[in-house]
Amino acid sequence: MIAQTLQTKIGEAMKAGDTIRLSTLRMLLSEFNNEKINLQKELEDDDEERIIRKEVKKRKEAIEIYTKAGEQERLVQEKKELAILQEFLSPEMSEDEVKKIIDEVIEQIKPQGMQDMGKVMGAVRAKATNADGALVASVVKQKLEFGN
């Protein structure tokens, strides 16, 4: 469980005086605790990974915003936080791996068009848990619109 590892990593960051790492790890632990309260149960590994992916997504969006705004100081901080969060995730699937799963799901479900996008997305997300959601949505949409 990642939450247990976080406690150790927080101690290491404190000793090293790494303030960005320390604040990022504390934020993540706080998010875990909030979700534990919301769910009223101990978190499973997939719950923890979902929370981390949500935080990664926030950092990626912030990086995009700060890049456009030219906010270099915040941009650097967000990139550091993103790198720290990604240490706790298994690598994302490649585009080719995602396309292969989508093709398999489409073959199984046999969608009639865009109206079945939700069905396809749900099945793909269940099989490709560590895939970028935006990539999945884009490829599914393309395949359903053009029948590729």
Please tell me the CATH code under which domain 2-86 is placed. Answer: 1.10.1510.10
Q: CA 30 → CA 33, 43, 67, 148, distances in Å?
A: 5, 13, 27, 44
Q: CA 75 → CA 7, 61, 67, distances in Å?
A: 27, 11, 7
Residue span(s) of the chain under CATH 1.10.10.410 come to: 95-146
Asked if CATH classification 3.30.420.40 holds for the domain at 95-146, the reply, yes or no, is no
What pLDDT, on the 0 to 100 scale, is given for residue 147?
A: 66
CA distance 1 to 144: 38
pTM over 0.85: no
Residue span(s) of the chain under CATH 1.10.1510.10 come to: 2-86
Q: What string of pLDDT tens digits covers the 148 residues of the chain?
A: 788 899 999 999 999 999 999 999 999 999 999 999 999 999 998 899 889 989 999 999 999 999 999 999 999 999 999 999 999 987 778 889 989 999 999 999 888 888 888 899 989 988 887 788 888 889 999 888 876 5
CA distance 139 to 102: 8
Structure tokens, 2: 């990642």
Q: CA 45 → CA 108, 124, 138, distances in Å?
A: 28, 20, 27
